[in-house]
Amino acid sequence: MADDHAVTLYSSATITDTKKNPFSLKVGMAQMLRGGAVVEVTSLDQAKTAESAGACCVVVSDPPPPRAGISRMADPSLIKEIKQALSIPVMAKVRVGHFVEAQVLEQIGVDYIDESEELGIADESHFINKHNFGVTFVCGCRDLGEALRRVREGSAMIRTQGEIRGSGNVAETVRSVRKVMGEIRVLNNMDEDEVFAFAKRIGAPYDIVVQAKQMGRLPVVHFAAGGITTPADAALMMQLGCDGVFLGQEVFDCDDPYKRVRSIVQAVRNYNDPMELAQASSGLDHAMAGLNLDENRVEFGSGDAY
């Protein structure tokens, strides 16, 4: 495609037209994380634990405020300290629409920026124009239309989002992933002359919708996030069609965070092998007992926007 902001189709091994299309380089950067687990950390010790356990990347977050309040971009000095100490890529979060936070993070050299609805919304009407940055962006979604709109804005990686409260409830994540995958299957079975109406209905750019149809998947790397706290949870996301998973702060709420993260990393790598999954899941019940929800607290809703 002639448009510099279009998504370049890619295989599992290569990307194309990197000279004509700089966005392809960002897509390639995101591909480096495929088949891995991105772990959220709030300290250098947690970051080192995640790296030693096999995480493909860490995402640095601001520690939760002591009282109800707005979460913001993490302290740049902490991000730089973690980046200097680790050999794996480092990601950091910015609030939706806050392009100045993104400018700060790009300046200090983060590898990826997550425009995160978990932090809050700085601009209620606009997302960041990610084509204005050289760094690779990650954005969240709950349906196909939202995912493809974020791709048009320049996101080279999509994070299908479930619950953001850290409760360990994976049901919302499953619902969001199934919705995205189901809409892709509907798109794949459409005649070409039906795609215009479908793109209009989901509010997505027509050319990106066409690429999704051609590829039979999202045109960029696709991870799942929210409530993933066990090896079985991670393998479920992979078998549903995701390229990897995000692990929240709750994975550190146990006696042996290394063992838990390591077991989930192994599950992502061996998601189709029940024997490996059984081994990875062994000995973790006590560590995760506090994350289980009773039936009355599991929510079955429409999955409204953030």
Kindly name the residue from 26, 83, 93, 213 that is annotated as catalytic: 93
| Cα dist from 160 to 72, 104, 116, 140, 296, whole Å | 21, 25, 12, 6, 25
Residues 6+ apart with CB under 8 A from 137: 26, 102, 112, 113, 114, 115, 128, 130, 154, 155, 156, 157
| Cα dist from 75 to 47, 68, 108, 121, whole Å | 15, 19, 11, 18
Residue type, 67: R
Residues 6+ apart with CB under 8 A from 154: 5, 23, 26, 128, 129, 130, 131, 132, 133, 137
Residues 6+ apart with CB under 8 A from 77: none
Q: What is the Cα–Cα distance from 152 to 148, expressed in whole angstroms?
A: 6
Residue type, 223: F
The answer to whether residue 93 is catalytic is yes
* Residue in this structure with the two tokens 């039979």, named with its chain if needed: 216
Residues 6+ apart with CB under 8 A from 191: none
Q: Which residues are tagged catalytic?
A: 93
